[in-house]
Amino acid sequence: MDRIPLEKKVLSENDRIAARLRESYHEHGILCVNIISSPGSGKTSLLERTLERFPKGTRVAVLTGDIQTDNDARRLSRFGFPAKQITTGGTCHLDALRVERALADWSLDSLDLLIIENVGNLVCPSSYDLGEAAKIVMLSVAEGEDKPLKYPSIFAKSELLILNKVDLLPYVPFDIKLAREYARSIHPGMEILEVSCTTGQGLDQWIEWLEKRGKAVTSDK
């Protein structure tokens, strides 16, 4: 069973590149966030609602990961900010090397915020550091409140939980109080936002969270 040592080797190579990326974000005063969720929880919709709220000239860029298609980058490039697709061709997560390559022809001097939308997968992306300042986990209320218990790693590692699609609460059996309890049983003190990209609920708080988190990065520089 030589599998575990090899996984360790792959991960430590990833960590080396992630450390280089983290140093580079730090030098340039960039907040990098890595958004992780199941397929279809609403990551791209949240980014659409986010980018449309940013004034022209906001120094933001988006990398978006998928197994196949560049649908998401096409959806996101409509807002006039740099958006690039990373198509993994089968790999179930983004890794630091793919991020580093995607960033190679962008000037980091022109950015304050880099948002990475990971491949839709609640498991594997949690193991791959992309040099981000914060992981953010998104859970749609259509998915059931037990997910923090079933997929604890990503909830333990994420600073923020976005409970998305709260407009569907009247139609789905989702106990939001229990979801919050489960998340905080895995990660005490975890920040939690309730959001609907359909009604706009919670989007102001999300933008404020990004601003606050961005200031922490700059003041830390």
Q: Which residues bind its own copies (CB under 8 A)?
A: 2-3, 6, 10, 38-41, 66-69, 71, 90, 92, 119-124, 139-140, 142-144, 146-147, 149-153, 165, 167-168, 171-172
Place of tokens 């922490």: 216
Task: Tell me the two tokens of residue 36.
Answer: 């992780």
What CA dihedral angle connects 105, 125, 51 and 216, to 10 degrees?
-90
Task: Tell me the two tokens of residue 131.
Answer: 């040099």
- Smallest separation (angstroms) from its own copies to the CB of 135: 17
User: DSSP E strands: which ranges in 158-197?
Assistant: 160-164, 191-194
186 versus 210: smaller Cβ distance to its own copies: 186
- Smallest separation (angstroms) from its own copies to the CB of 148: 10
Q: How far apart are CA 135 and CA 130, in angstroms?
A: 9
142 versus 176: smaller Cβ distance to its own copies: 142
187 versus 213: smaller Cβ distance to its own copies: 187
Contacts of 151 (CB under 8 A, 6+ apart): 122, 123
19 versus 149: smaller Cβ distance to its own copies: 149
Nearest alpha carbon to residue 75 among 67, 64, 86: 64
**Cα dihedral 114, 139, 94, 79 sign:** negative
- Smallest separation (angstroms) from its own copies to the CB of 59: 29
- Smallest separation (angstroms) from its own copies to the CB of 170: 8
- Smallest separation (angstroms) from its own copies to the CB of 30: 28
As beta bridge partners, residue 65 has 86
- Smallest separation (angstroms) from its own copies to the CB of 32: 23
- Smallest separation (angstroms) from its own copies to the CB of 85: 11
34 versus 214: smaller Cβ distance to its own copies: 34
Nearest alpha carbon to residue 43 among 146, 181, 143, 182: 143
Task: Tell me the two tokens of residue 37.
Answer: 């969720």
Residue type, 97: L
10 versus 216: smaller Cβ distance to its own copies: 10
133 versus 196: smaller Cβ distance to its own copies: 196
